[in-house]
Amino acid sequence: MINPSTGALLTSVPSLGQAETDAAIERAQQAFESWRRVAPGDRARLLRRFAALVDDHIEELAALEVRNSGHTIGNARWEAGNVRDVLDYYAGAPERLSGRQIPVAGGLDVTFHEPLGVVGIIVPWNFPMPIAGWGFVPALAAGNTVVLKPAELTPLTAIRLGELALAAGLPEGVFTVLPGKGSVVGQRFVAHPAVRKVCFTGSTGVGKSIMAGCADQVKRVTLELGGKSANIVFADADLERAAAAAPGGVFDNAGQDCCSRSRLLVQDSVYDRFLSLLEPAVKAYRVQDPALETAEMGPLISAEHRAKVASYTAGADVAFAGAAPAGDGWWFPPTVLLAGSTGDPHWREEVFGPVLSVLPFRDEDEAVRLANDTEYGLSGSIWTRDLGRALRVSRGVESGNLSVNSHSSVRYWTPFGGMKQSGLGRELGPDALLSFTDVKNVFISTDS
């Protein structure tokens, strides 16, 4: 493991092979038979105990994420706290996982939500803790057992969460963290018949291959994939507020966020004024040692990724850029590019770094058309004072999560997921639990 702020060796972890992965899956399959029979109130109590332990270790988990992922300490605290909150939220689910009684002739018809079995969860490196929790917590609450593969670059907080789960009293085999390569551990989740569902967050290309592999066994999948979200600013918006918020909407987590509003659409009548408001906000964005309380952005995850991000700015029309530390570490400045056309690579492709691409638009119809001119549909923002326009554009933009006069994408009690090639299924919110269950219908005849 490398500290992305310094480029120095942090520690090392084992990379598991196929035999070890299969053994862990088989232990999870065995544990499922007893875990599914744990009384709902007892399962809820264990999840609340797990949440309390995470809460006790917020600072430890956050400091570990700063070193392993380069996240700012403020973000890392929020991420650890999000795991706690998701655990608390779904701790209320086991006792409320109720079926229905359906009126029928000649008897009683009832439905049950039955757990699937072993669930495999594959977590990316950009948000190692929250995205892990969004998968494993509702799966456990519904009575499934979980095997979780953290990203190869950032496994440390997931491993620690696995230790805290055992300390909270979750039985052995119910929640197992398996560090290793995606081509080994992740592939076994897809191929092993005991794994009944795979949750994957990552690139669209890998997601497609996982979906294709799961089809062979009619295995369920939840996919949260790439994004190229639009930030649409209309002339009637509060321009000062929209400009002040724009850097956080794209540069948070160094732009390594599928929800990053990396395409900025500004109505042409206020285009020049908005850029003049945006420039000081970008230059004031604090790119610092992520352990500092004042840091708003840390480094990129790796040298390889920094080179990829830099390739999008080479030869591009740079409007302005912020500052970043020099020297060791994978640093990159917040950068604003002017798009010459919708064919520019930095406009069309997911850069996954602190790069904002800007384009003007004429009217509402063109704004919606440009926002939808992408294979992705995960998130986005709309800035306007006109409520009717806000509703029309929200309905018109093909995206799973939209914010009006805000860049907020995630609340653990509301659904999260993408449209088009940004994914399949929904995480979080009241209905996520049901995606980890099968509906069983039982008819009981009352005829003599």
Please identify every residue annotated as catalytic: 224, 258
Q: Which of 187, 157, 233, 202 is nearest to 407 (CA)?
A: 233
DSSP string, 261-286: --EEEEEGGGHHHHHHHHHHHHHT--
Using DSSP, state whether 46 is helix, strand or coil. Answer: helix
Q: In this structure, are strands 118-122 and 195-201 parallel, antiparallel, or unpaired? A: parallel
Please name the residues in contact with 431: beta carbons below 8 A apart, sequence gap of 6 or more: 415
Please name the residues in contact with 258: beta carbons below 8 A apart, sequence gap of 6 or more: 126, 201, 224, 225, 226, 227, 350, 378, 379, 418, 422
Please name the residues in contact with 5: beta carbons below 8 A apart, sequence gap of 6 or more: 66, 67, 70, 289, 290, 291, 298, 299, 329
H or E segment at 28?
helix 18-35
Bridge partners of 361, per DSSP, are 267
Please name the residues in contact with 163: beta carbons below 8 A apart, sequence gap of 6 or more: none
C-alpha span between 178 and 122 (Å, rounded): 10
Tokens for 333, please give them: 């400045």
State the burial class of residue 33 (Cβ atoms within 10 Å of its Cβ: 0-12, 13-18, 19+): exposed
Across the beta sheet with 101-102, what order do the strands follow? Answer: 101-102, 107-115, 437-445
Q: Which of 52, 165, 46, 23 is nearest to 95 (CA)?
A: 46
State the burial class of residue 182 (Cβ atoms within 10 Å of its Cβ: 0-12, 13-18, 19+): middle
C-alpha span between 253 and 332 (Å, rounded): 12
The length of the chain in residues reads 448
